Amino acid sequence: MSILLVRHGETALNTARIMQPPDTPLSARGHAQARAVALRLAREPVAGLISSDLLRARQTAEVIGAHGPGHPVAWRPELRERDFGDWRGQPYDALPQDPLHMAEAPPGGESMQAFADRCVRAWRALLALRALLPGPLVVVSHGLTIRQWLAHLPVHPDGAVLTARLGNTAVTVVDAVPPHTVLLYNCTRHLGPGLQEGGHSLSGG
């Protein structure tokens, strides 16, 4: 009984540390990462596949779906990354505040509270969907969104502390049964040489 959370593959704007517009596509390495995680998940008895409707997540989910048992991908806008409004397309390191941690809304964007509330609603919907399925649910989303879902969940005693940044196509496994223990966090063992991202790459935004 599990939910498999997958961050999208790499984009050129991740590596350039640019806040990403909605239509940001995967890079060539991002597509290769998506194929790698798809082959990993193809060995799981996946019963459902759902994704953020932002392009980078959609492309990742489509690759996963193509290598899996043929489940159609359901697109959900509530699984999106936090909306950074007018700051999307801007260099992260040149912004007047750290957008990944600021409480107030960026110009034209979403406050931390509004984002957190949306994530709560989305998480409840995912749990309800998982309860209807006979096997694991794969959810493709974004770094900040996944971190928000995990913020108040218990961690398995043998698991990692939830402090490491989420890598591109990192797999995180959560028990679908309350209290929804995090069983595996930020696992990228499916990424071989040349597919691991650099530590400078932006995770979130």
Active-site residue list: 8, 81
Of 151, 198, 48, 205, the residue nearest 185 (C-alpha): 151
Tokens representing 118?
């949306």
- How many residues are listed for the chain in this entry? 205
Q: How many CB atoms lie within 10 A of CB 104?
A: 9
Tokens representing 34?
């998506």
Q: What backbone torsions phi and psi does residue 6 show, to the nearest 5 degrees?
A: -125, 125
Q: 154-159 long-range CB contacts below 8 Å, 24 or more apart?
A: 154/179, 154/180, 154/181, 154/182, 155/181, 155/182, 155/185, 156/181, 156/182, 156/183, 159/183, 159/184, 159/185
